Chain A
Amino acid sequence: MIYMYKVAVVGDKDSILGFKALGIDAFPVIDKDEARRIVDTIARDNYGIIFITEQMASLIPETIERYNIETIPAVILIPSNQGTLNIGMDRINKNVEKAVGTNIL
């Protein structure tokens, strides 16, 4: 059985416009309520990967957290056009600390 999932990107319009040209579904959002609603909606709607800009993700940490334990969808943080906030890196380091106990990287 092959399930086909779609790929989405969520963030401010200027950052995600380019992704649209590559066939990734872009969902421009402005504030955190909208971001939360969009993420929850598309997570139910057959999207396998949701890229979200760190700026938006930092506004809705609980929503992001919720999808951590589920296999699908994968919510992945990307930097926005204002540069990176290092949240994505932080998440990697947190994972290491959680698993190993100390940061070995």
Chain B
Amino acid sequence: MAKLNVKPTRMELTTLRRRLVTAKRGHKLLKDKQDELMRRFIEMIRKNKSLREDVEKELHGSFQEFLLASAVMSPEILEQAVAYPKESISVDIKKKNIMSVNVPAMNFIRKLEGDEGSIYPYGFAQTSSELDDAISKLYDILPKLLSLAEIEKATQLMADEIEKTRRRVNALEYRTIPDLEETIRYIRMKLDESERSSITRLMKVKDIIHKEA
């Protein structure tokens, strides 16, 4: 704890007092923000974790099928089969504000071109059924994958913000506020002291004048 380097005057005292009030209010607000962020974060991170576990497991399955597909098909035909996708995916990203953190709110737009019903962008003549399986699995995973993207980005941004807020709260709580309080105490003591000394001086002067009279 260190007292601030200020002159012990009445004016400083008033400014410091005002600063202390602001610091205390800021601390309370930031603390509230931190608590709420933390609550939301924990809610989200759990979802994030289970979602990621799911996605990783399912992707693994799809990749296995894909590996089989590439084993039974020639690479050229495989590449040709997926070269012209039927579906197009775009994402509309709006910014959502959670406790002053801008997290993306993603809205996915999946468009199938041509006939509905079949998700495969190729004919069945030259491709193997493993490829169908792989793609249909991947097709099913996709919504999860996309929502994983949304949640994971949000938790990442929130984690950063929580860390920042916590630093601020701690700085206020353990540094700024105690420093201000100590300085205020110091100034008040100094002022009291000088008041006492001036009173004694006055009494002394009065005494001298009294004696001379």
- Residues of A participating in the B interface, judged by any CB pair closer than 8 Å: 2-7, 14-15, 17-24, 48-49, 51, 68-69, 71-72, 74, 76, 78-81, 83-84, 88-89, 91-92, 95-96, 98-100, 104-105
Contact = CB atoms under 8 A, between A and B. Distances in A.
Interface string B117-140: 001110000000000001100110
B90 A99 contact: no
Given A3-B93, A20-B83, A48-B91, A76 B149 contact: yes
B102 A71 contact: yes
B104 A81 contact: no
Interface in B35-89: 38, 41-42, 45-46, 48-49, 52-53, 55-56, 59-60, 62-64, 66-67, 70, 78-79, 81-83, 85-89
A95 B119 CA distance: 37
**Majority SS at the chain B contact face:** helix
Q: Residue among B38, B64, B142 with the most chain A CB within 10 A? A: B142
A91 to B, nearest CB: 8
Contacts of A5: 90-93
A104 B91 CA distance: 33
B106 interface: yes
A18 B82 contact: yes
A64 B55 CA distance: 20
